[in-house]
């Protein structure tokens, strides 16, 4: 138990350091970066999107079935993440900055039942939102539902290959880049406005200078 706690603390510390590094690279504080990311996901932060796949069922049944689904975090196939940050496939097979929406769009095309949990955060990367739970095997027989995806690794490799070509992804990346740029400009303007104007404190310097002159005059009188 103690060993597990130490490992969790180590992972938490590493996640914090990674968040700080990402924020510094963008010229922002971790809090400012987190706020920006939260705003990007505000519309669906607590959304659960369910897709039944080729086997018809209601959402309640799908949620019950999802207990046996495999979990896919975007970090698993993110080329910009390290192995410690969660990447599960080779870097050359991965893709940069995937999202749960990218993953879901492809799973719909492949008719794989899945649930998108946008509000979940990856334990090893606090700035990464969302996970997807995917049905790969028949709940009764255990046989693969899709010949191309006999395992989670096979699914991850196919996702890494297919995501870059999504048109919806290109729109998302452009919107996120614009939001991040606007946040950086806003923070830079706020920092400039709160900075001390050039020449401020001159009055104090003048006072000090005047005091020095008075002392000098007293010295002259003393010599007389």
pLDDT, tens digit (0-9, with 9 covering 90-100), for 12-37: 454 455 555 555 555 656 565 555 55
Confidence (pLDDT) at 205: 46
Residue 170 domain flag: yes
Counting residues of the chain whose pLDDT is more than 90, the rounded percentage is 34
Q: Are residues 38 and 129 in the same domain?
A: no
Pair 59, 166 in one domain? yes
Is 198 a domain residue?
A: no
Query: 147 and 128, same structural domain?
Result: yes
Q: Which residue segment(s) compose the domain that 131 sits in?
A: 46-180
Are residues 63 and 150 located together in one domain of the fold?
yes
**224 vs 176, residue with greater confidence:** 176
- pLDDT confidence of 124, banded at 50, 70, 90? confident
* Same domain membership, residue 65 and residue 26: no
* Same-domain pairing of 38 and 64: no
Q: Is the pTM of this model over 0.75?
A: no
What average pLDDT does the structure give for the chain? 76
Q: Between 29 and 157, name the one with better pLDDT.
A: 157
% of the chain exceeding 70 in pLDDT: 66
Rounded to whole angstroms, how far apart are CA atoms 149 and 4? 33
């Amino acid at each position: 138990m103690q060993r597990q706690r130490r490992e969790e603390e180590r992972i938490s510390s590493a996640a914090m350091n990674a968040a700080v590094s990402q924020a510094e690279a963008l010229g922002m504080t971790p809090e400012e970066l987190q706020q920006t990311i939260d705003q990007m996901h505000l519309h669906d932060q607590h959304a659960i999107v369910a897709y039944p796949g080729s086997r018809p069922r209601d959402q309640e049944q799908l949620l019950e079935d999802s207990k046996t689904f495999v979990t896919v975090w975007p970090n698993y196939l993110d080329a910009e993440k390290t192995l410690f940050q969660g990447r599960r496939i080779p870097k050359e097979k991965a893709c940069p900055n995937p999202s749960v929406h990218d993953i879901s769009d492809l799973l719909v095309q492949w008719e794989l039942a899945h649930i998108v949990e946008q509000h979940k955060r990856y334990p090893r990367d606090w700035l990464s939102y969302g996970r997807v739970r995917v049905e790969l095997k028949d709940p009764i027989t255990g046989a693969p539902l899709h010949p191309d995806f006999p395992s989670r690794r096979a699914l991850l490799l196919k996702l890494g290959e297919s995501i870059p070509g999504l048109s919806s992804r290109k729109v998302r990346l452009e919107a996120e880049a614009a939001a991040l740029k606007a946040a950086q400009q806003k923070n830079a303007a706020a920092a400039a406005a709160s900075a001390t104007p050039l020449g401020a404190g001159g009055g104090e310097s003048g006072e000090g200078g005047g005091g020095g002159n008075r002392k000098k005059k007293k010295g002259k009188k003393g010599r007389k």
